[in-house]
Amino acid sequence: MSPIYHIAPAAHIERAARAGQYVPDAFATDGFIHCSRAHQVKRVADEYFAGQRNLVLLEIDPSKLTCPVVDENLTGGADLYPHIYGPLPMTAVISVRELLSDAQGSFSLPCNLRD
């Protein structure tokens, strides 16, 4: 099963590592954790996180999740995005990598993202 990816503030993931699971603030309203496939990460980072610093990219193994992962698009587009419908156990996180942006706010991604 291909990994999925989630962008988050580094401080939130540091807290999640201590707690053993990650639940972003938006989960209370959205009911899921927004994720991307490898080919979607750069566009999502540039569109939704421009200008932000201290971000990390989580690589997640969906086979280690106990809750559903649903591929869907809730904004009416054709591209489907994976959504995790429950807390993310940190044991499902394969890697946590720093997400860097240039002076214009465009993000550089690790070269070995797997779709």
In contact, 88 and 17? CB cutoff 8 Å: no
- Average pLDDT of 98-109? 84
Residue type, 102: D
pLDDT digits 0-9 by tens, 4-17: 999 999 999 999 99
Domain boundaries, the chain: 4-102
Is the pLDDT score of 114 beyond 80?
no
Could you tell me which CATH number the domain at 4-102 has?
Answer: 3.20.170.20
Q: Which residue has the higher pLDDT, 75 or 26?
A: 26
Residue 76: pLDDT band by 50, 70, 90 thresholds?
A: confident
Main-chain dihedrals φ then ψ at residue 37, nearest 5 degrees: -85, 165
- Please give the pLDDT value at position 75: 85
- Average pLDDT of 106-110? 81
